[in-house]
Amino acid sequence: MSEDDRSMLGRAFLVLGSFTSERPRLSQSELSRRTGLPLPTVHRLCRQLVDNGALERVDDGHYEIGVRLWELGALAPRAHGLRQVALPYLEDLYEATRENVQLVVREDLEALYIERLSARGAVTVVGRAGGRLPLHASSGGLVLLAFGGKNLLDEVLAAGLERFTPSTITTEHRLRSTLDDIRRTGWVTCREHLNVGTLAVAAPVSRSTGEVVAAVSVVVPAEKDPAPLIPAVRAAARGISRGVA
């Protein structure tokens, strides 16, 4: 691969990396601003990415991530194998609650949703499959942070604890205390930490070695009692753990 090819590949990933769950549809002008690339370069890259299925051009001239990228992403061993093992247990949890059921893994300093099941009329939440959230602000993210080691916690604290609601954890003392509780009990409840009006319960998915690789969570209206949800979420997490290599 020539230097020009590598440079073009890097610019293509800059364009693709501009799309987020909050901004899944972008114009060429917006892509130019987000990447810092000249508009003619963005125009050329978008055309090539569309030709290869990595982007799709919608009627208003904006662009969206293409299905081909979704197909390739679904082949990622970590997500693909985990989703296959987890889905029956997630479906059981969904049938029992008829609310938002989620499976998350850690990607750098964020929680990445690799599966979500949601009923019509379920409480509205931030995030969707393929979306990301800060670790400190979501139930699944807190579980992953609790078992992620000291270096990860130091990085999260250095990045800052953004406030999403009045109940979001924004102090080091409260975060450390919450993580200690998660390691002691094996679960966490979060009332309105990320979305006003929601209550989330999460538990870890681990390998036989004890390594935590994911978290299962359910999100319900804030007024609900979490007590009946805790054993159901933990049972789903244990079931998935038994099937994780």
Backbone angles phi, psi at 82, to 5 degrees: -65, -45
Confidence of residue 192 (pLDDT cuts 50, 70, 90): very high
User: What b/e readout covers 20-36, taking b as 16+ CB neighbours within 10 angstroms?
Assistant: eeeeeebebeebbebbe
CA-to-CA distance for 174 and 203, rounded, in angstroms? Answer: 19
How many angstroms separate the CA atoms of 97 and 94, rounded? 5
What are the CA-CA distances from residue 93 to residues 40, 67, 213 (Å)? 49, 28, 19
Percentage of residues of the chain with pLDDT beyond 70: 90
Closest to 207 measured CA to CA, from 85, 65, 56: 85
Average pLDDT over residues 99-127: 83
Confidence bin at 1 (pLDDT 50/70/90):
very low
Identify the band that residue 210 occupies on the pLDDT scale cut at 50, 70 and 90: very high
pLDDT at 7 over 90: no
Arithmetic mean of pLDDT, 56-75: 82
| Residue listed under structure tokens 């917006």 | 30
Residue 32: its H or E element: helix 28-35
Instruction: Average the pLDDT over 90-109 and give the result.
Output: 92
18-52 pLDDT, tens digit each: 988 778 899 999 999 999 999 999 999 999 999 99
Average pLDDT over residues 170-188: 98
| C-alpha span between 187 and 161 (Å, rounded) | 21
pLDDT of residue 186: 97
Asked whether the beta carbons of 138 and 194 are under 8 A apart, the reply is yes
List the domains of the chain with CATH numbers.
3-72 (1.10.10.10), 74-243 (3.30.450.40)
Question: How sure is the predictor about 80, in pLDDT bands with cuts at 50, 70 and 90?
Answer: low
Find all residues with CB under 8 Å of 103, minimum gap 6, and list them.
82, 83, 86, 90, 113, 114, 115, 116, 140, 205, 214, 215, 216, 240
State which of 64-73, 116-125, 196-205 shows the largest mean pLDDT. Answer: 196-205
pLDDT-based confidence at residue 215 (cuts at 50, 70, 90): very high
